[in-house]
Structure formats: C-alpha cells, structure tokens
Amino acid sequence: MALGLLYRIYERNLRRGLDVERLPRHIGVVLDGHRRHAREEGLASYTESYRAGMARFEQFLGWANEFQIPAITAWVLSKENLSRPIEELDPYFDVLIELFERLPEECREFDMSIRVIGSLDLLPDHLVAAAKTAEQTRRVGARRLNVAMGYGGRQEIVDAAKDLVEGLVEEGVPALEVSSHITADSLAAHMYSADIPDPDLLIRTSGESRLSGFLLWQSAYSEFVFVDVNWPAFRHVDFLRALRDYTGRARRFGK
C-alpha cells in the first residue's frame, strides 16, 4: 500500500512538473522486448507477451491522449522481423489482427485517424486486410496514429525516391533534368507520412540504445529516450519520465 501511494505521488509530481508548452507534437515509439519479457517472466508462450504488449500499447494511446499529443508513430513490426521463424510470427500476426479489430473504437474515443505504413506487400493477406479495415474505419481525426508494420527506414527512403522520380517522368521532365528536381524537400514530400511533422521524440524500450532504422529520414533532429524495461512492462511513469527528459532538453536542430 505504501509503495503504491508513493508511486502515485511521484507520478503526480512528474505530471505537474511538465512544461505543457514544450510537449512533443509527434512521438515515435519502438515496441521492443516482447520475447525477452516472456522469457524473463517465465510466460508459457510468446503469445501471452504479445497480448500484454498490445494491451500496453492501447494504454499508451490513452496516456498520450491526456496531453493531446497530435501524432504517434508506433513500430510494431520491422521488415527484418519477417525473417523470424513462422511459428513465432504467426501468433504475433494473430495478436496484431486482434489489435486492429479494437483500434477503430479506441481511436474514435481519442479523435485519431489511423494510417498503416510499411511494406505491406510482404505481410500475410489476412493481416493486411485487418489493417486496411481499421484504417478505412478511422480515416478522419484531429490527431494521427501511424502503425508501422513490415517497416524499414531505408526502404521508406528508397520508396520515396522511386515515387519522386516516377512522378517527374509522368510530368514529362527530361531525363537530364530529373536530378535537379531531387532535393531534400522534394524527397521528404514522398515519405510515408509527409503530411505530419517529423517526430520530436523517439522512445525505444528493452534497453537497446539504437533506432535500427526507425524513421531514419525524419529523425535527423529528434530527441531519443531509451528505456531499460521491455515494452509489455512499460509504465505510465516511464512515459512521464520520457516527456520530462524531452521537455528539459534544449533543441538546437543542428545549429
């Protein structure tokens, strides 16, 4: 009881200490550590950990809603993850489908639209269908949730370059002039989520101190917070600490 009371007091003090004028407009989060969590907690299967992780993600959306964070991008499945054994992937695909069935109602409550980004052509048809149904159900919202699935940062840049060049060709730009139209701004306009600001804050759980290509182009001036706990064990207080760290930093954008 005493520990619970102290936790609530600490949590309240963290929240009160935040400078709401400096909160991030866009948070990227890497939901990492499901398998490690299962092993460390002695769970019967990875599926239990996957479900706990998705439940925690839904809580995370509620935490972000408390501060009206305009945009969230969550990396739930990397392109590299797809090389894992199918006996690991299939249960996770099933859990993601369950998530997509719940997300529209939750995003309606939070006034969020849903967009799924990544190499969806590499994913099972039934998973893509569930993702697209969720996306179509919540096309409109004052705020945005991006779910990155089958996503790779390098692939996003490659796709943006292809889209840009193909568009220039369709416009009739001569081949010798194409390169002059390729700029940082023109390429940025073809990224998966070019219509929202670049992420201000990127959070990764499980103690890994790298981004593994997450939002590779967009994260040039992002602030990073690496958290030791695995994603299913990520707490509200961990989120508040990440916001505290972010709001306490002086952002210089390379200047």
What's the confidence (pLDDT) of residue 39? 96
Q: What is the pTM of this model?
A: 0.95
Widest Cα–Cα separation across the chain? 72
**Is 32 among the catalytic positions?**
yes
The answer to whether residue 51 sits within a structural domain is yes
What's the confidence (pLDDT) of residue 253? 80
Q: From the candidates 32, 146, 198, 200, give the one annotated as an active-site residue.
A: 32
pLDDT tens-digit series, residues 57-99? 999 999 999 999 999 999 999 999 999 999 999 999 999 999 9
The answer to whether residue 33 sits within a structural domain is yes
The answer to whether residue 15 sits within a structural domain is no
- CATH number, domain with residue 136: 3.40.1180.10
Q: Are 52 and 232 in contact (CB under 8 A)?
A: yes
User: How many structural domains comprise the chain?
Assistant: 1
The answer to whether residue 228 sits within a structural domain is yes
The answer to whether residue 205 sits within a structural domain is yes
Q: From the candidates 13, 19, 65, 81, give the one annotated as an active-site residue.
A: 81
What's the confidence (pLDDT) of residue 30? 98
C-alpha 72/C-alpha 23 separation (Å) is: 13
**Is 13 among the catalytic positions?**
no
pLDDT value at 203 more than 60:
yes
Comparing 24 with 3, the larger pLDDT belongs to: 24
3-state secondary structure 47-115: HHHHHHHHHHHHHHHHHHHHCCCCEEEEEEEECHHHHCCHHHHHHHHHHHHHHHHHHHHHHHHCCEEEE
pLDDT tens-digit series, residues 90-130? 999 999 999 999 999 999 999 999 999 999 999 999 999 99
The answer to whether residue 93 sits within a structural domain is yes
Residue 205 structural domain: 22-152+199-247
The answer to whether residue 126 sits within a structural domain is yes
Tokens representing residue 140 in the block:
């409109």
Mean pLDDT of the chain, nearest integer: 95
What's the confidence (pLDDT) of residue 135? 98
pLDDT value at 43 more than 60:
yes
What's the confidence (pLDDT) of residue 165? 97
pLDDT value at 1 more than 60:
no
